[in-house]
Amino acid sequence: MTEDSINQWVLTHQKRIDVILQDFFNNQKNTLLKNACEYTLLNGGKRVRSLLIYAIGEDEKILNPFHLDQLALSVELIHAYSLTHDDLPSMDDDSLRRGKPSCHIEFNEGQAILAGDALQSLAFQVLSDNNLNIHNDIKIKIINILSQSIGLNGMALGQSMDINSDKMNSSIEVLERLQELKTGALIKASCVIPFLLSKNYEEIYLADMANIGHLIGKIYQITDDILDIESNTETLGKTADKDRKNNKMTYISLVGKKEALKIKANIFENLNKSIEQFPRKLIALQNLAHYIYKRAY
């Protein structure tokens, strides 16, 4: 698949999830809180977590597109909640998100907190709805995996560590753990949950798929660290060079850009090996991994 073809695949599926997200909120009662939720959720974005779901759905030949759409919708709701809270003054304190004022700037801090709360609960409302007609055992497992990925020992813990990072010993090991939780856990879950819907699903390969998701999460975050110093605010849609100014622990601050690029290349090599060693061909996922590795924003 050529780079142009990969980009077209990405664009097609980004548009697909954007329509689903818009349709979902078109069916909600119009309130100030709904407007705050929409503002964060429908304000563009790379939709990487949804793209992972669609890529694995394609590779695993999951025939019911509605199932994939609902999984994609749920992870985008969760991701939007995390960004809404991440931007708050008490967290990362960022006034810009996807090229527009952050939710707490556009509305106010209280509304942004409530919007994040509502977005998270909507994700589990979608997954537990009777319209998602998958076996209850699988449904419960999906909900459990997502809950773990964002909770006390997942994304929330990563955010907690990030807030407290100036008081922690700086090391690659600590940074990897922080990033694995704050960013990587939901990315890994986005690879695992569609795999559960595959007719070819075998428990023995679940750890292999989780490892693939783990490596994609590492590549995604180290790329963020590099882009923070390489790119600009207009391209990123958020404040550039913010990590350095705030003395955040990143790959750049710990090992420098040159070494960070080497680490990224090594992770990508391991990722390709893991994808190639999977018992079935993961062509769409491999193409998407290439796209994530090369991304410029």
Give the CATH number of the domain where residue 164 resides: 1.10.600.10
pLDDT of 47 reads 97
Question: Distance between CA atoms of 123 and 80, rounded to whole angstroms?
Answer: 10
> What integer pLDDT is reported at residue 243 of this predicted model?
77
Q: Is 260 exposed, middle or buried (0-12, 13-18, 19+ CB in 10 A)?
A: buried
Q: How many CA atoms lie within 13 A of 71 on its CB side?
A: 37
Structure tokens at 44: 């563009």
pTM recorded for the entire structure = 0.95
Q: What is the mean pLDDT of each run of 10 residues along the chain (297 residues)?
A: 92 97 95 97 93 98 96 98 96 90 96 98 97 96 98 97 84 95 97 95 95 98 91 73 80 94 97 97 97 91
What range does the domain containing 51 cover? 3-294
Tell me the two tokens of residue 223: 């790329």
Residue 168 confidence (pLDDT): 77
Identify the pLDDT of residue 269: 98
Yes or no: say if 247 and 166 are a contact pair by the CB < 8 Å rule: yes
Q: To which residue do tokens 């990224």 refer?
A: 264
- CB neighbours (10 Å) of residue 146? 24
Residue 186 is predicted with a pLDDT of 98
Q: Are 95 and 230 in contact (CB under 8 A)?
A: no
